[in-house]
Structure 1
Amino acid sequence: MTDSWLPSLLTPTPEAGYALAVKLSRTAVKLTQPSAEVRERVRSAYAEDFAALIAISHVVATNFQTVAAANGYWRS
């Protein structure tokens, strides 16, 4: 069996959970557009687009909700 890039949603802290949420979001982009050249080329198109940046924040927030729920919101 090969190693998984996502062995678990469990993280020790909320900060680690947020980092995982960002990684989930970035991985989704890489899987959707596998060409690094294309991703680099279009980056400038959304880098100053406030609506796109807000949309990106929403995706990360949604992924963070998932990670937080998986971790029982870091409550014992």
Structure 2
Amino acid sequence: MTATWLPTLITASPEEGYDLAVTLSRVAVRKTQPDGEVRARLRQSYDEDFGALIAISHVVATNFRTVAAANDYWRSAG
């Protein structure tokens, strides 16, 4: 069996969960557009676009909600 890049959604803390949510978001972009040169070129169209940056934040927040639920909101707050 091969190793997976995402063995679990379980994290030790909300901060680690947020970092995982960012990673999930970044991996989705890489899987959607595997060509790094294309991603770099496209980045120029949104890196100063506040609407695009807000949309990116929404994607991360959605992924964080998923991670938080998987962690039972960090073992029910305590």
Which TM-score tier does this pair reach, normalised by the shorter chain?
over 0.9
Note the 1:1-76 alignment, pairs <5 A: 1-74=1-74, 75=76, 76=78
Task: Please list every run of 5 or more consecutive structure 1 residues that lacks an aligned counterpart in the other structure.
Answer: none
Question: CA offset at residue 44 of structure 1?
Answer: 1.0
Task: Return the TM-score normalized by structure 2.
Answer: 0.95
- Structure 2 unmatched ranges of 5 or more: none
Structure 1 residue runs of 4+, over 3 Å off? none
Aligned AA (2:15): E
Q: How many residues align?
A: 76
Q: What TM-score, normalized to structure 1?
A: 0.97
CA distance in 1, matches of 2:43, 2:59: 17
The two structures, once aligned, show a CA RMSD in angstroms of 0.7
Separation (CA, whole Å) in 1 of partners of 2:9 and 2:36: 26
Q: Deviations over 1:17-73 (max 9, x none)?
A: 000000000000000000000001111110011110000000000000000000010
